[in-house]
Amino acid sequence: MLQLLPPEIALDTISYLLLPSLYSTALVSSNWNALIAINEATVYRNAALLHRFVTEGDLHADSTSLNPKFRRINWKAYCQRQFEIERGWLGKAPPTIREFTATGTAVHRIKTDEEYGFVITTCQTGGLSVTDATDNRVLWALPPSHVVEYAHCEYDRGYIIFNRRDNGKEVWRRSIDVGDGQVSATSPPDSQMLQSSTEAAARFHMTADRRGHFRAWALLQMPEITRAFRFSYPTMLASATNNAYIWDVPRSKLVEVIRDIQRPRNGSIMGRLNYVEVNDRYAFICGSTQLRIFSREGGALVYQLSTKDLPDPVWDVLRAEGGSGGASTAILEPQMLHKTYHDPRWTPMGEFMACVYSHVSASGNDLVALTSSGRVVIIPDFERLFSGSDRPSFEDIATQLNFRPTSGEWDVSLYLAVGDRNRKLAVATRKGIYAISPDLRFSSLTAEHPPNPGVSVCRLSQFDSDRLLSFISCLQVTHSAIYFNYKPSQRNGRRGAHQQGLITLHAAEDDIDVQEMPALQPAIPGEEAFLDEDDNPPMPEFDDEFMDEDFHDFPEDDPVHVIVNGEDNEVVHHLIDDWFLPVNMSTVYRVSF
């Protein structure tokens, strides 16, 4: 029958077959096998489109020529690899774990570049390093004397941005992308940046591999003190308490200002600024009480969401009965999702901690938010909420996952991250690290349909220590991996070097939320900490930028304790000018699918 069909019709028929069906078809029919083999590139390119591994927009750089990235691709091998990645996110293919010790032992922020194969980290005690993701060696670094303690770091398409004490944002570019001596003409780097750039180049000049080397490019001076910033090429959003500033980073130019972002709406201001996100059309600003979306065309507020207005029901994320079961790997354990209605009188929502934006050109734009109480809010194609004539309600399109294990625990959330192009998510809580697959299209093309609401959630079962989970300060997601900082399996620090920094502390009758504070660990791999006669690290200097209005004063002899898993654990600490300085011990871990 097949031989009676014109080849183009037969190929069109095959384009609707799933990858497992393609394999089976080639085995049961010699005619089909010959057709598939002769037209292998076309067949598997169509399969990649069917499974949403690529989109038509990805394939074409313009209307006439294929994107160079896909010109010489082996489409069969590509589909096989992408299929295994998808199965890995669902806990149906074994992932691998890698620890990067070269990143140092006091990791604060993590950024990745999988195309060039390196990991960027900043440290709690200052400093920045670029580590080879294959060989676990330092490719390039800046010392603590240049990069401030607890520096926040952003990275995209060869640009590194991090904050400094004078409220400026330093921009460094990948060396292979710029010529010798080339800097921004609009906002050039200062003498300190140029000197550090020269010293770093000299220090690592023997390294033939320059893909992880960077050069000073620009110094962006903020109009006022900013509390958070986010870079999504080519745009950086830096927000102060009441105004948000949008920069074109390649041009090093301030291009937009969104003013009065705290204006009361629905009887409430946005609250303390916790996180910002940006794309080419909107600025997303996450406050403690409201998540607000502003248009970049004029700065109008187009949507707001308050934590108190989050509706029920939610889907509780629970461990499957009997543990991992036969369907999971030893590392990734599928979770059960149970639809539940929680009494709002006993289940406080907490505050918005983060929001992340995922752009998928073929299927719209997703917005995901995280509350401190462990609720992940997934809003697919969020623009439908405020644009177009047929606007669905929030309840109609949003999915809410509850990662709070019991009603009595509400301050459980730590970090939220989204993948670069495959809609995958990861969330870290004080009870676990979870891989989330909210894109239903892959599962809808197979016989393995997930239960309602169609979201697959797996827990990284080998990272389930309550005490260590509480100390995670960064989580990153790529197409095929999850990166996070975690305490090394072998404790190699000295006394007082094994406690972490981002924890909720309890002393006397007050609580302290310790965030963005200096720590006491060496930042450059290979450097030893200088210890005093009592075996304690030296005290770092401080700047007023680090002061937190919510920080409480304590007598120097008042013991500070960490409440972890119901147990009272005293923390080794130092107090300077009423500052509590916990010590963080962590390296970068990668779970690859």
Instruction: Read off the pLDDT of residues 505-521 as tens digits, 9 standing for 90 and up.
Output: 222 222 222 233 333 33
The region, left, alpha or beta by phi > 0 then psi within -120 to 50, assigned to residue 325 is left
- For residues 184 and 171, the answer to whether their CB atoms sit within 8 Å is yes
- For residues 279 and 254, the answer to whether their CB atoms sit within 8 Å is no
Which residues does residue 506 pair with via DSSP β-bridges, in sequence order? 511, 561
The distance of Cα 591 from the centroid of its chain, to the nearest Å, equals: 14
| pTM attached to this predicted model | 0.81
For 168-203, letters b (16+ CB in 10 Å) and e give bbbbbbbbeebeeeebbeebebeeebeebbeebbee
pLDDT in tens, the chain (593 residues): 555 778 788 888 888 888 888 888 888 878 888 888 988 999 999 998 888 888 777 676 544 445 555 667 899 999 999 999 989 998 888 899 999 999 888 899 999 999 999 999 999 989 999 999 999 999 999 999 999 999 999 999 999 999 998 889 999 999 999 998 899 999 999 999 999 999 999 999 887 778 999 999 999 999 999 999 999 999 999 999 999 999 999 999 999 999 999 999 888 899 999 999 999 999 999 999 999 999 999 999 999 999 888 888 899 999 887 654 444 457 899 999 998 877 665 566 688 999 887 654 344 588 999 999 899 999 988 999 998 888 889 988 899 999 986 766 667 999 999 987 667 999 999 999 999 997 655 555 554 544 568 789 999 999 988 888 988 999 999 999 999 999 875 443 333 333 333 222 222 222 222 233 333 333 333 333 323 333 333 333 333 333 333 323 333 333 333 333 333 333 333 332 334 445 457 899 999 99
Query: Could you give the maximum distance between any two Cα atoms of the chain, in Å?
Result: 89
- For residues 546 and 518, the answer to whether their CB atoms sit within 8 Å is yes
The distance of Cα 385 from the centroid of its chain, to the nearest Å, equals: 25
- Report the residue count for the chain: 593
Domain range list for the chain: 2-73
